[in-house]
Amino acid sequence: MYSFTMLEDYVKRVYSYLSIDDPIDIDMELISYKLGIRLKYWDEGSEASYFRGNFYIYLNERLPIQEQWQEFGHELCHVLTHEGHQSFMPNEFLKYQEIKAENFALHFCVPTFMLLNYEIANYYNIKDGIPFVAKTFNVTEEFAKKRLIHFRNQLNQAKSDEEHRRYMESLYPKAPPYSKETNAILNKLSILIEKKGVKQ
């Protein structure tokens, strides 16, 4: 069973707020409008800013639409989760924010809860899924490859976690009926608690 990370859960909640649950309905103009972000296009690098009570995302108008969408996901992370002007940040913290924004973009542009609705021929053979993800989520093939590798790693981790949980449960069953030894310990604890309660 797949267990959502905090980021995946957050992205799902954002899309739920936006009433979007299918890739065909993803539209950055609509997302910007619903989140109260002013989306602008210019001939410089993409960036996010806050000015006079408004959030702005600026996208390079020369980029292909797929790259604009990926840049939008990156800049949206800065708007939703970061504070402060990057010009005044220490270099290491700036790198940290950029890594987080790249990871956020992977999840926002290709949300896990939507990806799980599709049966890509073989997640372990990334090449099979790249064209499908690129077309379905309107991202570049390079971006789709990164996302699928990340998703495959998450699936492997979920599988490993489940196997470990089952193994530990086989060694240490939790549910009653408890063993004689466990019942004896529980009885002793119960008696100690009662005695303590009487003294007080």
Q: What is the percent of the chain where pLDDT is above 70?
A: 86
Question: Is the Cβ–Cβ distance between 74 and 35 less than 8 Å?
Answer: no
Could you read off the pLDDT of 144-164 as tens digits, one per residue? 999 999 998 888 888 888 888
For residue 169, tell me if it sits in a domain.
no
Global pTM reads 0.77
User: What DSSP letter does each residue of 102-139 carry, written as one string?
Assistant: HHHHHHHHS-HHHHTTS--S-TTSHHHHHHHHHHHHT-
Q: Provide the domain count of the chain.
A: 1
For residue 181, tell me if it sits in a domain.
no
For residue 190, tell me if it sits in a domain.
no
For residue 189, CA distances in Å to 35, 43, 108, 173, 195 come to: 54, 71, 50, 20, 10
Domain of 126, in residue numbers: 6-163
For residue 183, tell me if it sits in a domain.
no
For residue 113, tell me if it sits in a domain.
yes
For residue 80, tell me if it sits in a domain.
yes
Q: Which pLDDT score, from 0 to 100, does residue 135 have?
A: 96
Pairwise pLDDT comparison (96 vs 84), residue with the higher score: 96
For residue 187, tell me if it sits in a domain.
no
